[in-house]
Chain A
């Protein structure tokens, strides 16, 4: 079973509009962390935002916010006021509690290609 599912291969948004990128996850752990990364065409993965499973508030970082719905196991990324420079691939990732077999590992989804048009 996939640990992270991103169902939107591509999304389009007009500049200055908000966009939501979907992410659902699968884990039986009570303690886990959820991450979003941005990968421009240059290839470097850029960390955007983190949400812990025990965090009661949704995480926010500037124009990025994470809509965390624990019961639904979803962790959608919301980008407000999109900019042309936001065009990139976006990955959702999860880290489970430190256990021998999963220590240090991030599980990634397949990504969503976001295109921002003027």
Chain B
């Protein structure tokens, strides 16, 4: 079974631009979560989607948004990029709510975003 894929793997943008990151979950997984990882803040939860609906959102400004498509693929968008948005963005997929607390999240390789 193919793992979680994320595109692109690397991205360089300048301040003020916007960026869209893509995530394809493991086949059969209906939940996709996004995390931001920085040396200073560690791993921070951005949001989670299940069946095309955002179920949960972390404490990030409205510049961070996402969506999920009917095939469970997900995209996240960051508008008006700031230097502090430079980070590794990780996407994780899981079966969804039916598995409860044991619902294991499997991560993709991440997209490394650099904002200049």
Contact = CB atoms under 8 A, between A and B. Distances in A.
A10 to B, nearest CB: 14
Nearest to B106: A47
B105 A47 contact: yes
B101 A91 contact: no
Contacts of A96: 101
Contact of B110 (A33, A44, A102, A108): A44
A118 B35 CA distance: 34
Interface in A101-118: 101-111
A25 interface: no
Interface in B20-53: 31, 33, 35, 42-43, 45, 48, 50
Given A103-B55, A103-B56, A108-B43, A43 B88 contact: yes
Which size bracket describes the interface of B in this complex?
20 to 34
B104 interface: yes
A20 interface: no
A45 B107 contact: yes
A96 B102 CA distance: 10
A32 B114 CA distance: 35
B88 to A, nearest CB: 6
Given A104-B48, A110-B42, A53 B101 contact: yes
B33 A105 contact: yes
Contacts of B45: 105-107
Interface of B: 31, 33, 35, 42-43, 45, 48, 50, 55-56, 58, 88, 90, 92, 94, 97, 100-110, 112
